[in-house]
Amino acid sequence: MKKKDIGIRLGNSTASRSIYFHGLVVLVFALLGLRMFYLQVYQEKKYKYLSERNRVKFRRIDAPRGNIYDSRNELLVTNGAGYRLVYLNERKIDEKTLKEISQLTGYDEEYIAKRVKYGEIFPYTRENVLIEDLDPHKALKIMEKLSDYPYLQVQTYSKRKYLFDTLASHVLGYVKKISVKEYEELKDKGYTPRDKIGKEGVEKVYDEDLQGKDGYDYIEVNALNRAQKIIRNQPPVSGQDLHLTLDMRLQRYMENVFKEGKYTGAFIALEAKTGKVITMVSYPNYSLTTFSSQISYDEWNKILHDPRRPLSNKAISGEYPPGSTFKPFIAFSFLKDGLDPNFKIFDNGYYQIGKWKWRAWKRGGHGYVDMKKSIVESVNPYYYKFADDYGYEGMVNVTKSFGFGKDTGIDVSGEKNGVLPTPEWKKKTWNQGWFKGDTINMSIGQGYVLTSPMQIAVAYSILANRGVAYKPHVVDYLERDGKKEYIKPEVLYKVNYPASYYRVMNDAMEGVVDLKDGTGKVLRTPGLEIAAKSGSAQNSRYEKTHAWIAGYFPAKNPQIVFTVLLEGAGGGGSEAGPVAKKFIDKYLEYYGKEN
């Protein structure tokens, strides 16, 4: 019997299997084709960018920072070569590599591991900075061995170079890497987290002018991330140069005077008719090279705990009781309140209110005293009496017009305002009322009154110019490619007091130097008339008084204003006076009496 064929196939047909197989192959290749089309056509720009990014690296070229010169074109600050060590594997490191880097650099493995993990990674190049400020000698040794360390690179960059290290350190300031806080404040001005910026002095105030404009390289690299060739380049533009008003011959000389005398304090000399500062000393000074580099904990701790506070710019941020250098301005307030400068009182050695006595510095007193004698011999009871008679308001208003209690706006960072006390100020600050004793102490530059040496210099400029002071400045002009931008003299204060007030005060201040009992007779200089006022200010830090002297010359046509402050040195005439005299003699040696 034959079996009936019912037309069912169980998969043993070769033709059928072939059709299914070819269909599957076509489908796979179709999908691959579609994927290739998507990647090569639709996503072409993306993957071309990623490919180029792996092949081409961007490298920023730091713009050379502008140089700084003194008034005679002596170079003070420029740029030299700095070295940094970078790691090319971002944050990946093994024990063997860690040990090799430690042995090569001399840094312990823990430090290197922390730098790899937390150190700065440059954008674009992805280089991890291990050591930012590499010692030049060590850098050159490492460079000789780099072929054995393909994961390391020594980079050269422009580093600030201070040719005289400590000279005029408070005026110049220094440059260091931008902090996180500073970056947040400055990023809208185009600063980056990699930038080095001015931290103090003119380096800070004129940072944007000194910075210049960075350039860049686009570099082709190989599979090992090694540079092969520069594809495109934009050269950097150098920052502007600063030309200072300071004469470094005088600056060196006066800093040496402070060094030899072991003084702590400040000295200022400026041009009365322009505000140009020709000398500005704050002593002790500090090393700009140290602060612009990596400073060790021991070095920082030593500076921080130095009782003479070398980081403080005493010329503009030191706040001191001015003592008797304040008296000429208090005398102006008496004149304004109607006091006849020829009116005499008798000084028996003290001024008394009830049971309270305020004494003269001279035992037994100065006898009969008018305004001129009160300045020449620095007679305290004269000021006690008329301060008590006229009150504090006139003194505050007049001294405020001479700039006390306000900053001068000098182009050096860190200036402070000082204190010009009032009853409102005392209530707010100390939660206390105002007493007669406060008024009396204020009249001789004691009590709550605090001034900086620069404020004194500016106030004496008003006396010298008979009513005008120019804003003090230490930069004369900025220059790039031969084009100069001058800082023009700017009137800071203009006060309208009668010419007679200035004649009275100038005559009295000349007497401080010329008369037998003058407290500033140490300044006497043949052929040169000098007007000055000394001061000795009690303070809470030292057993001895602060020593002050301030003045100007030539007295009839003033060109130079000077101020000396010596912390805890003693009498103003006996201690600060000789320092001022040394400056005057050296100035005349360089410039002559005709200037």
Q: What is the pLDDT of residues 552-574, one digit of tens each?
A: 999 999 999 999 999 999 999 99
Write down the domain spans for the chain: 58-244, 255-289+312-592
Report pLDDT digits (tens) over 343-364. Answer: 999 999 999 998 999 999 999 9
Output the six-digit token pair for 5: 């064929």
What confidence score (pLDDT) does residue 153 get? 84
What confidence score (pLDDT) does residue 376 get? 97
What confidence score (pLDDT) does residue 9 get? 52
Residue 488 pLDDT level (bands cut at 50, 70, 90): very high
Q: Whole-angstrom Cα distance, residue 337 to residue 343?
A: 14
The CATH number for 58-244, chosen from 3.90.1310.10, 3.40.50.300, 3.30.360.10, 3.40.50.720, is: 3.90.1310.10
What confidence score (pLDDT) does residue 192 get? 85
Q: Whole-angstrom Cα distance, residue 453 to residue 457?
A: 6
Per-residue pLDDT, averaged over 268-284, amounts to 98
Report pLDDT digits (tens) over 178-231. Answer: 888 998 999 899 888 888 999 999 999 999 999 988 887 777 766 655 666 777
Tell me if 310 sits within 8 A of 169, measured CB to CB: no
What confidence score (pLDDT) does residue 42 get? 58
What confidence score (pLDDT) does residue 50 get? 47
* Percent helix, percent strand, percent coil in the chain, to nearest 5: 40, 25, 35
Which among 588, 485, 592, 582 has a CA at the least distance from the CA of 252? 582
Residue 130 has pLDDT above 90, yes or no: no
Which among 486, 485, 561, 533 has a CA at the least distance from the CA of 280? 561
Lowest mean pLDDT among 53-62, 195-204, 247-256, 511-520: 53-62
Lowest mean pLDDT among 21-25, 94-98, 437-441, 500-504: 21-25
Residue 137 pLDDT level (bands cut at 50, 70, 90): confident
Q: Provide the Cα torsion 197, 199, 202, 205; round to 10°.
A: 70
Q: How many CB atoms lie within 10 A of CB 297?
A: 7
3-state per-residue secondary structure call for 52-120: HHHHEEEEEECCCCCCEECCCCCEEEEEEEEEEEEECCCCCCCHHHHHHHHHHHCCCHHHHHHHHHHCC
Residue 528 has pLDDT above 60, yes or no: yes
What confidence score (pLDDT) does residue 405 get? 97
Per-residue pLDDT, averaged over 8-28, amounts to 66
What confidence score (pLDDT) does residue 1 get? 47
Residue 30 has pLDDT above 80, yes or no: no
Residue 41 has pLDDT above 70, yes or no: no
Report pLDDT digits (tens) over 76-118. Answer: 999 988 888 888 887 888 888 888 888 888 888 888 888 888 7
Q: Is the C-alpha dihedral spanning 377, 382, 384, 390 positive or negative?
A: negative
Percent of the chain, pLDDT > 70? 90
What confidence score (pLDDT) does residue 495 get? 96
Give me the chain's average pLDDT, please: 89
What confidence score (pLDDT) does residue 374 get? 97
What confidence score (pLDDT) does residue 114 get? 85
Q: How many CB atoms lie within 10 A of CB 3?
A: 5
Residue 147, classified by CB atoms within 10 Å of its CB into exposed (0-12), middle (13-18) or buried (19+), is exposed
Residue 43 has pLDDT above 70, yes or no: no
Report pLDDT digits (tens) over 450-476. Answer: 999 999 999 999 999 999 999 999 999
Lowest mean pLDDT among 131-135, 204-208, 254-258: 131-135
Percent of the chain, pLDDT > 90? 64
Domain 255-289+312-592 CATH superfamily: DD-peptidase/beta-lactamase superfamily (3.40.710.10)
